[in-house]
Amino acid sequence: MNEPTTYEIVIRGHATDRILGHLSDDFAIAHRQPGTTQLMGVIRDPAHLHGVLSHLTSVAIDIVSVTPTDPPDQQTPPNPNIRPKDTTMTTTHSSPAPTRRKLELTTAGGIGGLTAAATFIFGIALFVTSLTDYTEGDRTPAESVDFLVGHQGILFAWYLVIFLVFGVAIIPLARALQVRLTDVSPLLADVSAVFAYIWAGLMFATGMISNIGITAVADLNGTDPAAAETLWSSIDTVTNGLGGGNELVGGTWILLVSLAAWGSRHLPTGLNAVGIASGAAGLITLIPGLSDVGMVFGLGSIVWFAWAGIVLLRTHDDITSLEVAR
């Protein structure tokens, strides 16, 4: 196919504009036969066709047929003396297993996004309330150790949620977004997922070091306060380097996902704008003296995580409705 060609794509189920995404702008949509949806539109070249089919399969849609045809206003009456030629290029019936796996991934990603948002809310709430004496100001190591010894329980819960639970939550979210964006920007989708997995690993390391560290510092303080202060300073430096001092890795992930989805209907434009702003704020924390911009990154990330989670869960509902319509 070296020139624009009109195609009829038939898919199984009653597809809505929301699940079809940007394709609803490029194709005429009809429901002429029970249990199917017909898309009619112009395909520019093989790459365009591949992108269209990739989008359909990425949201677990079963493709019944892909057929080049004349546009409706140029179709001629059939000649009864000529046997029609079968021009169907592709016919496929996806098995329930891939569809089920994509549904499960979409659901897991949506739950992961909402969970990640919740961990940020929990972390910021404690940061500005119960832990404000620990997190604000230029406290000496001795003052920090004294606070740690008296608040081991709340610090343990804080580190557990903001690092370990968060790290678990972003893994399915990252995978679901990678699959969703592969057909529009495969390179950015793959690279962004790598940054997400690195971020998750850093969160695991930071959380485990922090929680083991506070126990070690508290135990050591009973026998050698000076050594406990030295140990606390070392742990604080390591954990800040891994996950608390700047938001390079997380900001890069959110920024790349938002750039990959920009201009398409795979994710809402508003969500992409929030992601670009939040990701940029995360990168700015690398600049000495501007680490306070991390709070902008944190608040923006809450919105981005929650919004992305809702989008994925709504997509799950659409796919489920499509399955029922079949």
Q: At what angle do helices 166-181 and 186-221 cross, to 10 degrees?
A: 180
Domain-by-domain residue ranges, the chain? 5-94, 99-325
| Tokens linked to 72 | 């409706």
Second-level CATH architecture of 5-94: 2-Layer Sandwich (3.30)
- Percent of the chain beyond pLDDT 90? 44
Confidence check: pLDDT of 88 > 50: no
pLDDT tens digits, 242-294: 876 678 899 999 999 999 998 777 888 999 999 999 999 999 988 877 767 77
Residue 73 pLDDT class (50, 70, 90 cuts): low
Confidence check: pLDDT of 77 > 60: no
CA-to-CA distance for 123 and 155, rounded, in angstroms? 10
Residue 89 pLDDT class (50, 70, 90 cuts): very low
The pLDDT, as a whole number, for residue 151 is 92
pTM over 0.75: no
Give the chain's radius of gyration (CA, Å). 26
HEC string for 269-288: HHHHHHHHHHHHHHHHCCCC
Asked whether 64 and 10 are in contact (CB, 8 A), the reply is yes
Mean pLDDT value of segment 185-214: 94
H or E segment to which residue 115 belongs: helix 96-127
**Pairing verdict, β 36-43 and 28-30:** antiparallel
Confidence check: pLDDT of 95 > 60: no
Query: Edge-to-edge strand order for the sheet containing 63-68?
Result: 28-30, 36-43, 5-12, 63-68
Residue 167 pLDDT class (50, 70, 90 cuts): very high
28 Cβ partners below 8 Å, 6+ apart? 39, 40, 41
pLDDT tens digits, 125-160: 998 898 988 877 678 899 999 999 999 999 999 999
